[in-house]
Amino acid sequence: MTRSELIHQIKTKRSFLCVGLDTDIDKVPRHLLAYEDPVFEFNRQIIEATADLCVAYKPNIAFYESRGVAGWQSLQKTWAVLPKDCLSIADAKRGDIGNTARMYAKAFFDHEVSGLGFDALTVAPYMGHDSVQPFLDFEGKWSIVLALTSNAGGLDFQTHRDAHGVQLFERVIEKTNGWGTIDNLMYVVGATRGDAFTAIRALAPEHFLLVPGVGAQGGSLQDVCRYGMNGDCGLLVNATRSIIYASGGEDFAERAREEALALQGEMEKELMAKGIV
């Protein structure tokens, strides 16, 4: 999915919602355990219930890898039913030396090799340029670089200041800006870091930001939009637990849709206030 196609979907659906598919087999409704692949069936019903309300889906790869071959098969089947008008993001947070990074890129981007063809992949920049470039080399794919994450431990290193007073996450954005473009590079910025969006937009005014932490983690959608939205929206706000686990019963898909619809309604208001729709 190109940048212009993504912006078109945001305007058409009046939404910049990304639904996380962090599907834990121990949390899916019990009646789904009768299916051959409960994880896939859960995902399929969530996708069908929310596809018109969101512009992206983001499976967290750990929830699939942890189940071995069965989990990888669930992931492949899930990827195959993701709507083509939604950005598909593999939340794998990969980052390794160049030749290894190329293999990771093939695993998630090259359908002929792995059976997966995600549009985007989260990557860790700690090992530097040669660990990120192999992902950027894939034509038509997005690399989403971890910049300022929403977890408490993110503050252990990401906000460390150097001798010039520059925080590490600022240095990451400044440096990686030159590796990709606004057409193939995004940044992960946690919604719980609302006070940092101004600084991030000063460094990356046109890049899309993938923003976890709204919903169950307590991040404010309004603050994210106030400080992080640009003229094209420039945001993909992820919600996971508040949507996919809204109910543990047979009405789980309907309840997921209700939660997604509520968030989409808030997003529409923000887009209208900005004059984007």
Of 97, 115, 51, 30, the closest CA to residue 243 belongs to 51
Q: Going by C-beta distance under 8 Å and a sequence separation of 6 or more, which residues neighbour residue 263?
A: 15, 17, 53, 214, 215, 221, 237, 239, 243
**Rounded distance between C-alpha atoms, residue 107 and residue 187, angstroms:** 21
> Active-site residue numbers?
93
Task: Answer yes or no: is 127 within a domain.
Answer: no
Q: What angle do CA 130, 132, 138 make, to 5 degrees?
A: 110
Task: Answer yes or no: is 128 within a domain.
Answer: no
Q: What angle do CA 233, 235, 241 make, to 5 degrees?
A: 140
Task: Answer yes or no: is 199 within a domain.
Answer: yes
Residue 42: burial class (beta carbons within 10 Å; 0-12, 13-18, 19+): buried
Task: Answer yes or no: is 130 within a domain.
Answer: no
Task: Answer yes or no: is 172 within a domain.
Answer: yes
Of 153, 154, 152, 134, the closest CA to residue 143 belongs to 134
What is the pLDDT, as a whole number, of residue 239?
Answer: 95
DSSP string covering 197-217: HHHHHHH-SSSEEEE--BSTT
Of 224, 226, 257, 225, the closest CA to residue 242 belongs to 257
What is the pLDDT, as a whole number, of residue 220?
Answer: 86
**Rounded distance between C-alpha atoms, residue 26 and residue 67, angstroms:** 12
Of 235, 232, 233, 230, the closest CA to residue 214 belongs to 235
What is the pLDDT, as a whole number, of residue 55?
Answer: 98
The number of domains in the chain is 1
Task: Answer yes or no: is 198 within a domain.
Answer: yes
What is the pLDDT, as a whole number, of residue 191?
Answer: 85
Residue 220 belongs to a domain with what CATH number?
3.20.20.70
Q: Which two tokens stand for residue 79?
A: 């990827």
What is the pLDDT, as a whole number, of residue 193?
Answer: 76
**Rounded distance between C-alpha atoms, residue 12 and residue 86, angstroms:** 12
Please list the ranges in the chain whose pLDDT falls under 70.
215-218
Task: Answer yes or no: is 103 within a domain.
Answer: no
- R_g of the chain computed on alpha carbons: 18
pTM of the model: 0.96
Domain range holding 182? 3-88+135-274
Task: Answer yes or no: is 80 within a domain.
Answer: yes
CB 257 within 8 A of CB 47: no
Phi (first) and psi of residue 78, to 5 degrees: -65, -45
What is the pLDDT, as a whole number, of residue 215?
Answer: 62
What is the pLDDT, as a whole number, of residue 218?
Answer: 63
Q: Is 91 helix (H, G, I), strand (E, B) or coil?
A: strand
